[in-house]
């Protein structure tokens, strides 16, 4: 038996104003769409904005359902919309923000496991890393250079 070690690293920005201008704009769009989330059950609103290589920005917010598994996270709403409207476009960057109606979220909130798997599918398909920026309602923003950085043991079609 031997131990293996996997290391990931992130960039950390102290606030929105520290982000590069294009990312600040992308995050601003994620914040705006977050406010439109349909979250009557969890009261936890998430917004995502994707920058595509054709210059388009696609946004999505979480959409809940009384039958919890039937809802969709903001990241998947945005990524599936991009895949259906611009199937040949590559996703270059993704901005994610989350806020609770009951308490202020200050820590960066990353994509859930289901969203990571969905993002992985597109990152593998396009053979180009997707930069991911994520934050809470306020405070620090983390940047991951790729989804693989967030999910080093990705499950993909090569295992099928």
CATH of residue 86's domain is 3.40.140.10
For residue 17, tell me if it sits in a domain: yes
Does 66 count as an annotated binding residue? yes
For residue 89, tell me if it sits in a domain: yes
Quick check: is 123 catalytic? Answer: no
Quick one: tokens of 65? 């359902």
The whole-number average pLDDT for the span 86-90 is 97
In order of 24, 43, 73, 88, 130, the CA distances from 70 in angstroms are 32, 16, 10, 27, 26
Across the chain, what does the average pLDDT equal? 96
Which residues, in sequence order, are CB contacts of 57 under 8 Å at separation 6+?
26, 29, 49, 50, 51
Question: Does the structure show a pLDDT above 90 at 158?
Answer: no
State the residue range of the domain holding 109. 12-150
Does 115 count as an annotated binding residue? yes
pLDDT at position 102, please? 96
Tens-digit pLDDT profile for residues 15-24? 999 999 999 9
Question: Does the structure show a pLDDT above 90 at 159?
Answer: no
The pLDDT-based confidence of 157 (bands split at 50, 70, 90) is: confident
For residue 156, tell me if it sits in a domain: no
Please give the tally of structural domains in the chain: 1
* Residues 138, 106 contacting (CB under 8 angstroms): yes
Quick one: tokens of 150? 């967030």
Question: Does the structure show a pLDDT above 90 at 69?
Answer: no
For residue 6, tell me if it sits in a domain: no
Choice among 3, 12, 75, 131 that is catalytic: 75
For residue 104, tell me if it sits in a domain: yes
Does 149 count as an annotated binding residue? no
For residue 90, tell me if it sits in a domain: yes
Indicate the range of 39-43, 62-66, 149-153 predicted with least confidence. 149-153
């Amino acid at each position: 038996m031997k131990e293996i070690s996997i290391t990931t690293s992130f960039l950390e920005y102290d606030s929105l104003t520290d982000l590069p201008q294009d990312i600040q704009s992308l995050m601003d769009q994620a914040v705006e769409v977050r406010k439109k989330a349909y979250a009557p059950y969890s009261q936890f609103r998430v917004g995502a904005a994707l920058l595509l290589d054709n210059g388009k920005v696609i946004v999505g917010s979480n959409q809940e359902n009384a039958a919890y598994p039937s809802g969709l996270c903001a990241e998947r709403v945005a990524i599936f919309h991009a895949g259906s409207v611009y199937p040949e476009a590559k996703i270059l960057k993704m901005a994610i923000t989350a806020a609770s109606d009951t308490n202020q979220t200050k820590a960066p909130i990353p994509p859930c496991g289901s969203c990571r798997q969905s993002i992985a599918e597109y990152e593998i398909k396009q053979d180009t890393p997707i930069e991911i920026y994520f934050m809470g309602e306020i405070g620090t923003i983390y940047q991951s250079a790729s989804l693989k950085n967030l999910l080093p043991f990705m499950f993909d079609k090569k295992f099928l």
